[in-house]
Amino acid sequence: MERKTTIHDIARELNTTAATVSRALNNHPSISAATKEMVRETAARLNYRQNKLASSLRSGRTHTIGVIIPSAEISFFGSVVHGIERVARSKGYRVLLFQSNEDPSCEAEGIEALLQSKVDGIIASVAKETTRYQHYLEVKERNIPLVLFDRVDDSLQVPSVVIDDYKGAYMATMHLIEQGYTRIAHISGQQHIKIFNDRLRGYADALRVRGLPVEDDLIAYGKVSVDSGRDCTDKLLSSAVPPDAIVAVEDFTALGAMQSIKRIGLHIPREIGLIGFANEAFSSYITPSLSTIDQQTIKMGEEAALLFLDLRKKKENGQTNAEKIVLDPVLLIRESSQRINV
């Protein structure tokens, strides 16, 4: 195994010192252009590669942002990560990705790993099952910049970026009302997760504004999955006075609802309207295509990265505050909810 070349090797070759080489490589202003040129040439010739470990150990900065996502198999998160990466990369940061698999202890492990790796900051979306936030609190207490997105917890008091879930659900419900649906049900999720509760409120308020009934029988509480969406819909449709439209808490739930509706043989959107939330990749592909609320994923990632950069700067100045960015949801009208004007 060949020894790796270090800045000392380059220094020896050029009859100079490691300090000069280091400065040249880092484009330090007080190094002459000539020296920089020579150093770079020699570095390339010797196939030199900087050891980030040593560099970071010494400088105290890794130029790495740790990102924790619940699952890489949900395209929403993949897309947000793209946004984060775009901004991060342009500012010289790299992104280290961790999946929590929706599991709080795995999430804690991930945070631990990121802290040990001395990342410069953490951007995260909270796992569905997480109810205690000790591991996140510790990040904050250690003064490591922490930014949350989408699934946030306000009690943590950290900067975050979300879309207006209340407004999204309100828009979705209003859209169904305008399409002439009058008995509109909602499949919600775990109520300790803020975004699900917000969507529930948006749904209910839209009905109220238009004088439509907000009945307990019209609201199902599921676990936010295809299976749960199917089960909840089975129940809703078999009730005494079934709904003629459904607002699903997100697209996978809507997918389950669609399966249930098809099995019963009702026509979407003629006999029953359906709208999801998230604009998952598959939502435009399925038949009928699923109306949904777009969450501005790329923008969400970009804003999260910008919040992190902000936080770093403020940290240097000793400032601190918990800015909250709220993005506007976008209503996407597709086949599943379009009963008129077709």
How many residues at the interface with its own copies, by CB under 8 A?
43
| 19, interface contact from DNA, its own copies, none, CB < 5-8 Å by kind | DNA
Phi, psi of 331 (to 5 degrees): -80, 125
Distance CA 239, CA 142 (A): 52
32 lines the binding site for DNA (CB under 7 A): yes
Tell which one of 13, 35, 133, 331 touches DNA (CB under 7 A). Answer: 35
Distance CA 317, CA 24 (A): 29
4 lines the binding site for DNA (CB under 7 A): yes
244 lines the binding site for its own copies (CB under 8 A): no
C-alpha dihedral sign at 240, 241, 244, 250: negative
| Interface of this chain with its own copies, residues 285 to 304, rule: CB under 8 A | 285-287
CB under 7 A: which stretch of 32-40, 186-194, 283-291, 314-322 binds DNA?
32-40
27 lines the binding site for its own copies (CB under 8 A): no
| Interface of this chain with its own copies, residues 50 to 69, rule: CB under 8 A | 50-54, 56-57, 62
Q: Closest separation between CB of residue 11 and DNA, Å?
A: 7
User: Where do contacts with its own copies occur on this chain (CB under 8 A)?
Assistant: 1-2, 49-54, 56-57, 62, 71-73, 75, 77-79, 81-82, 85, 94, 96-99, 101, 112-113, 115-118, 143, 226, 255, 259, 262, 281-282, 285-287
User: Where do contacts with DNA occur on this chain (CB under 7 A)?
Assistant: 4, 6-8, 15-20, 22-23, 25-26, 28, 30-32, 34-35, 48, 50-51, 54-55, 57-59
